[in-house]
C-alpha cells in the first residue's frame, strides 16, 4: 500500500496521472493506480500539479535583524516546497540556522556567505578579515547536506573599498571545494559589472539580473543589453531573477527578453519586509511578473523547479519522476485583474493569476495560506 496516492493530477503538458508515494519518494506514476493509499489526495477540476516549486534566493534565518523571515511563511504557506537561503549566515552562525531549519515543514538549504557572520550589517565584505577560507571549508564539511553553495554580494555598499578582492577570494574558495555553486549579487558600482562577469565562469549564478541600476545589464543610453553581458550569458553564466526590494525592473526584463536574454531561474529575494509590504510578496507574484514579460507558464514552471534543482545539485528534486522526492505544488489559474509592481514602482496590470493551492512535501499535504 502506498503512503499517499495523488489522483487526477493534471499537468500543463496535458497529461492526467496518478502518483503513488512511499517513504517520501515518488514510487509509481501511471494513468491510473489501482492500489489504495493510506492517504489520498484528489485534485479538483481546474487544478494542476507540478514538481514542488523551489525559490533559490530567500532570506529566512529568523534570528537576524537586517534580512530575515520564517521558512514556512515564505515556503509551504506560499506553495513553495524548497527554499535556498542566499547567504544570510556565514561560518560563525550557520550551525544555529541549521538547527532552526530542521524544524520547518519546508525543505531548507543554505548558501554560505563568505563573510563569517553573514549579513549582520550591510557591509559584510568591507572587512577582509571576515573571509576565512579554512573556516568556510570546515563548515562545508560539517553540513554537506544543508549547504549547497556559497554567496558573495558584490556591490559598493557591501564591499566598501575592497573592489573585486572578495569575489577573487570567493572564486578561490570555490575552486578548493568543487563542485560548489557560487551565487554573486550585483548592485551599484564599484565594482563594475563587466569586471564581475569577467571573473565568473560557466555554472556560476548571477542574481538580480534584471535590476534597473546603471551598473546593471541594460545600457541606459542605447537601451540595449551591454555586449559583455551577452558574452557572459553565452558563456553559460546562470542568470537568476532575485527580485528583491530594489532589484527587478520590468523594462530591463522586457528588453532582455526581446534581445534573447532570459532568466535561467526565477527567485524572489524575499524577506519579511518585502513580503509584507511588497513589492515581492511571494514566488507566485514574481512568476506572474515574468509571465507579463512574455515567458510561457511552462517556461516559468521549469525555472522554479528543474532549473534551480540542477543549478544547486538537488538531484532528487525538480521533476515529477519515479525515484524523486515526493514534493509537489498544486495550483490553479484565476482569470482576475491584478496590479503588479516592480522594484522601481512601475506597474503592470495582468488578467490571469497563478495561485498555489496546496504544497506536498515528502508526501505530506499542506494547504497554502495566501
For the chain, percent of residues with pLDDT exceeding 90: 100
DSSP H or E segment with residue 51 = strand 47-51
Q: Cα separation of 75 and 153, whole Å?
A: 23
Concatenated DSSP letters of 13-40 = TS-EEEEEEETTEEEEEES---S-EEEE
Kindly report, residue by residue over 183-233, the tens digit of the pLDDT: 999 999 999 999 999 999 999 999 999 999 999 999 999 999 999 999 999
What DSSP line would sit under 256-270, residue for residue?
HHHTT---SB----B
Please, what is the Cα angle at 12 between 266 and 4, to 5 degrees? 95
Can you tell me the distance from the alpha carbon of 298 to that of 295, in angstroms, rounded to the nearest whole number? 8
With cut-offs at 50, 70 and 90, classify the pLDDT of residue 370: confident
Q: The whole model's pTM is what?
A: 0.98
Grid-cell match 537576524, residue found = 64
**Is the bond leading into 44 cis (omega within 30 degrees of zero)?**
no
Asked if residue 43 has pLDDT above 80, the reply is yes
58-78 pLDDT tens trace = 999 999 999 999 999 999 999
> Which of helix, strand or coil describes residue 100?
helix
Q: Specify the CATH superfamily of domain 53-312.
A: Metal-dependent hydrolases (3.20.20.140)
Tell me the per-residue pLDDT of 311-361, one tens digit each, with 9 for 90 and over.
Answer: 999 999 999 999 999 999 999 999 999 999 999 999 999 999 999 999 999
Which option is the CATH number for 2-50+322-367: 2.30.40.10, 3.60.9.10, 3.40.640.10, 2.170.8.10?
2.30.40.10
Interatomic CA distance for residues 193 and 8, integer angstroms: 48
Contact 332, 47 (CB under 8 A): yes
Is pLDDT above 90 for 299?
Answer: yes
CA distance 243 to 313: 22
Q: Which of the four pLDDT bands, split at 50, 70 and 90, describes residue 95? A: very high
Q: What is the mean pLDDT of the chain?
A: 98
Domain boundaries, the chain: 2-50+322-367, 53-312
pLDDT at position 112: 98
Q: List, for residues 120-163, the tens digit of each pLDDT value.
A: 999 999 999 999 999 999 999 999 999 999 999 999 999 999 99
Q: What distance in Å separates the CA atoms of residue 228 and residue 233, rounded to the nearest whole number? A: 9
Amino acid at each position: 500500500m502506498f503512503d499517499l496516492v495523488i489522483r487526477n493530477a493534471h499537468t500543463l503538458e496535458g497529461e492526467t496521472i496518478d502518483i503513488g508515494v512511499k517513504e517520501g519518494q515518488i514510487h509509481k506514476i501511471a494513468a491510473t493506480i489501482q492500489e489504495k493509499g493510506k492517504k489520498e489526495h484528489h485534485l479538483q477540476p481546474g487544478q494542476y500539479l507540478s514538481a514542488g516549486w523551489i525559490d533559490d534566493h530567500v532570506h529566512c534565518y529568523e534570528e537576524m535583524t537586517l534580512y530575515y523571515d520564517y521558512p514556512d511563511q515564505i515556503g509551504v504557506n506560499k506553495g513553495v516546497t524548497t527554499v535556498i537561503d542566499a547567504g544570510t549566515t556565514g561560518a560563525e552562525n550557520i550551525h544555529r540556522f541549521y538547527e532552526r531549519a530542521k524544524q520547518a515543514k519546508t525543505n531548507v538549504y543554505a548558501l554560505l556567505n563568505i563573510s563569517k557572520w553573514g549579513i549582520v550589517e550591510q557591509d559584510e565584505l568591507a572587512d577582509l578579515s571576515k573571509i576565512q577560507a579554512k573556516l568556510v571549508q570546515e563548515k562545508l564539511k560539517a553540513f554537506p547536506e544543508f549547504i549547497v553553495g556559497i554567496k558573495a554580494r558584490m556591490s559598493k555598499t557591501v564591499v566598501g573599498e575592497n573592489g573585486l578582492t572578495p569575489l577573487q577570494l570567493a572564486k578561490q574558495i570555490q575552486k578548493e571545494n568543487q563542485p560548489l555553486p557560487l551565487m554573486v549579487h550585483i548592485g551599484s558600482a564599484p565594482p563594475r559589472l563587466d569586471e564581475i562577469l569577467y571573473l565568473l565562469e560557466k555554472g556560476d549564478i548571477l542574481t538580480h539580473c534584471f535590476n534597473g541600476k546603471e551598473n546593471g545589464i541594460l545600457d541606459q543610453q542605447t537601451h540595449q543589453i551591454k555586449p559583455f553581458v551577452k558574452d557572459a550569458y553565452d558563456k553559460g553564466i546562470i542568470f537568476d531573477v532575485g527580485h528583491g526590494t530594489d532589484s527587478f525592473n520590468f523594462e530591463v526584463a522586457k528588453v532582455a527578453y526581446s534581445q534573447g536574454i532570459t532568466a535561467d531561474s526565477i527567485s524572489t529575494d524575499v524577506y519579511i519586509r518585502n513580503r509584507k509590504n511588497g513589492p515581492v510578496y511571494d514566488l507566485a507574484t514574481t512568476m506572474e511578473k515574468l509571465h507579463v514579460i512574455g515567458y510561457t507558464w511552462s517556461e516559468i514552471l521549469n525555472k522554479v523547479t528543474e532549473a534551480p534543482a540542477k543549478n544547486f545539485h538537488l538531484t532528487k528534486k525538480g521533476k515529477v519522476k519515479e525515484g524523486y522526492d515526493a514534493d509537489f505544488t498544486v495550483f490553479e489559474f484565476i482569470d482576475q485583474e491584478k496590479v503588479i509592481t516592480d522594484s522601481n514602482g512601475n506597474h503592470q496590470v495582468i488578467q490571469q493569476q497563478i495561485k498555489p493551492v496546496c504544497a506536498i512535501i515528502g508526501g505530506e499535504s499542506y494547504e497554502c495560506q495566501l
